[in-house]
Amino acid sequence: MKSQTDDPFGTIESAHDFMTLLAAAASQAKAELQVDVDRESATADLSRRVDALRIALYNLEKLELHLNRSNRILNDLRTLRRMLFEERALASRSESRSVASVGSAAAA
């Protein structure tokens, strides 16, 4: 039997947890990279290095944006799934009540 660590996307919840951790790591990397950009910007002689750091920072910002959007989508999917299962549970309860009332009416 697979454990949850073997399949991080086995459920919507585990995928959401994974994406949350990945977003936190990207945010931390972005903060560290911003420090590097600020430090390197102070020395004007390494402009290519500063440009490369800024491109990396830009790409991390895009990644962070996509991760946040993905988290919201996963959260929406969780909500929809819960709503659907709740509706199914309510429908099956009302259906079983209908069957029970038909069965008792037939017995009478």
Asked if residue 85 belongs to a domain, the reply is no
1 band by pLDDT with thresholds 50, 70 and 90: very low
Give the residue numbers spanning the domain of 66.
Answer: 12-80
pLDDT of residue 5: 55
- Angle (CA) 5-77-9 rounded to 5° is 15
Asked if residue 4 belongs to a domain, the reply is no
Give 78 or 102, the one with higher predicted confidence.
78
Asked if residue 42 belongs to a domain, the reply is yes
Domain count, the chain: 1
Say how many C-beta atoms besides its own lie within 10 A of residue 26's C-beta: 19
User: pTM of the entire structure?
Assistant: 0.69
- Angle (CA) 94-97-103 rounded to 5° is 145
Whether the CB-CB separation of 35 and 56 falls below 8 Å is answered with no
Please determine, for residue 25, whether its predicted confidence score (pLDDT) is greater than 60.
yes
Sign of torsion, CA 87 89 95 100? negative
Asked if residue 3 belongs to a domain, the reply is no
Compute the mean pLDDT over every residue in the chain, rounded to the nearest whole number. Answer: 84
Look-up of token digits 């002689």: 45
Question: How large a percentage of the chain has pLDDT more than 70?
Answer: 81
Average pLDDT of 39-50?
A: 82
Asked if residue 70 belongs to a domain, the reply is yes
Asked if residue 30 belongs to a domain, the reply is yes
Asked if residue 104 belongs to a domain, the reply is no
